[in-house]
Structure 1
Amino acid sequence: MAKSIGNVVTTGFSGLIGKLLVFRQRAGKTFVGDRPVKSSKAPTDKMLEVRAKFKKAIVYAKAVIRVDDELSAAYAAKANKGQSGFNLAFADYMKAPVFLEMPEFPEYTGKKDESLSVMVTDDFKVASVHFTIQDAGGAVLESGEATGIEDSPLWVYQTTAAHASVSGATIKIVAKDLPGNATTEEVTLL
């Protein structure tokens, strides 16, 4: 798509012209490109999934911008040049949090008040990180929220109980962002 710079004739144009060109406005600039052509092929299941997710992302972004002034302002403040708060809210819905490294807990011995930490990031903000510790048989030993360290991807969970044996136990970590996307990692202790 071409960018129109300093053209007094096309500045501010928007829409289809002559069934050949499409003019768009973005961040105060005019862009021109070929008219989009609808595919004659039937959409695949994957394409339909992506379209459905796009629709949900648009609903989320519109709701944030229209209803939640504080969150809308936060998205707008973090948006890059040429990007709106709506764009960032949309992108946030489309992408789940990411663990920066595979969690490992070789130092965990099963004692009360031990710290278990993970590094999690998101394109906007990680809302919560939840830890669940299960014994080798799958019974939940303890569960709770980790505490985020300000301006850092580090989240720390403080164990609340002592456990006699952690061999074969599983630690499940679920990280969620504001739209509710979740990423899960599981670690089996040796």
Structure 2
Amino acid sequence: MARSKNNVVTHGLSGKVGDLLVFSQRNGKTFVGKVPKESTKELSEGQKAHRLKFQKAVLYAKSVLNDPAKKELYEEGVDRSKGQTTYNVAVADLLNAPDIESIDLSAYTGNVGDVIRIMVTDDFGVEEVKVKIENGDGSLVEEGNAVNSGVEWIYTATVQNTDLVGDKVTITASDAPANLSEKIENL
């Protein structure tokens, strides 16, 4: 897509010109491109799912713009030098779930007070990290929320766990639009 600079004829122009050109505005700049052609092919299931997710992202971004507190929060993440808007940042946030980078179980030996360290990243921000510890037979040992230490999330054990054989730890991370990521580690 071409960008028009200081052109008196195209400045502020937006919309379609016949079936040839499309003009759009972003951050006071005029962009020009070819009119996109609609595909006549049937969408695959993956494409349908992606389109639905994008529609949800658009609705989420509109709700952010209508909520002054959320809007202010998202505006802090906008990089105007890259042409971003609050709307763009909110759409991207819904499209990208948190990423559970690592789970450090080295300090967990089954004792009360042992810690589990979790590294979670997100394009905008992680809201909550939950930890669930289960015995090998599937029975629940304990579960709760990890605490954000600024760099990582830390969960402190509150229940004595005498037999770690076959136990598993499930980490669930969520962000503002309620995207969930889950990762399971065996002890």
TM over 0.5: yes
8 Å Cα contact 1:104-1:187 kept in structure 2: no
Aligned-residue offset at 1:61: 1.0
Quote the residue 2:60 is aligned against. Answer: 60
Aligned residue runs from structure 1 range 96-107, under 5 A: 96-101=97-102, 103-107=103-107
Query: 2 CA distance for matches of 1:37 and 1:98?
Result: 35
8 Å Cα contact 2:173-2:181 kept in structure 1: yes
Query: 2 CA distance for matches of 1:24 and 1:86?
Result: 16
Query: 1 CA distance for matches of 2:13 and 2:62?
Result: 25
8 Å Cα contact 1:57-1:93 kept in structure 2: yes
Quote the residue 2:184 is aligned against. Answer: 186
Query: 2 CA distance for matches of 1:166 and 1:106?
Result: 13
Aligned residue runs from structure 1 range 100-115, under 5 A: 100-101=101-102, 103-115=103-115
Quote the residue 2:167 is aligned against. Answer: 169
SS of equivalent to 2:163 = coil
Aligned-residue offset at 1:186: 0.6
8 Å Cα contact 2:23-2:31 kept in structure 1: yes
Code of the residue aligned with 1:161 in structure 2: it is V
SS of equivalent to 2:162 = coil
Identity, % of aligned positions: 38
Code of the residue aligned with 1:77 in structure 2: it is E
8 Å Cα contact 1:100-1:119 kept in structure 2: yes
Quote the residue 1:157 is aligned against. Answer: 155
Quote the residue 2:137 is aligned against. Answer: 137
Query: 1 CA distance for matches of 2:106 and 2:148?
Result: 21
Aligned-residue offset at 1:123: 0.6
8 Å Cα contact 1:62-1:86 kept in structure 2: yes
Moved >3 Å (runs of 4+): none
8 Å Cα contact 2:107-2:114 kept in structure 1: no
Aligned-residue offset at 1:27: 1.1
What residue ranges of structure 1 are gaps of 5+ in the alignment? none
Quote the residue 1:77 is aligned against. Answer: 76
Query: 2 CA distance for matches of 1:104 and 1:73?
Result: 34
TM-score (norm 1): 0.94
What residue ranges of structure 2 are gaps of 5+ in the alignment? none
Task: Please give the root-mean-square deviation of Cα atoms over the aligned residues, in Å.
Answer: 1.0
TM-score (norm 2): 0.96
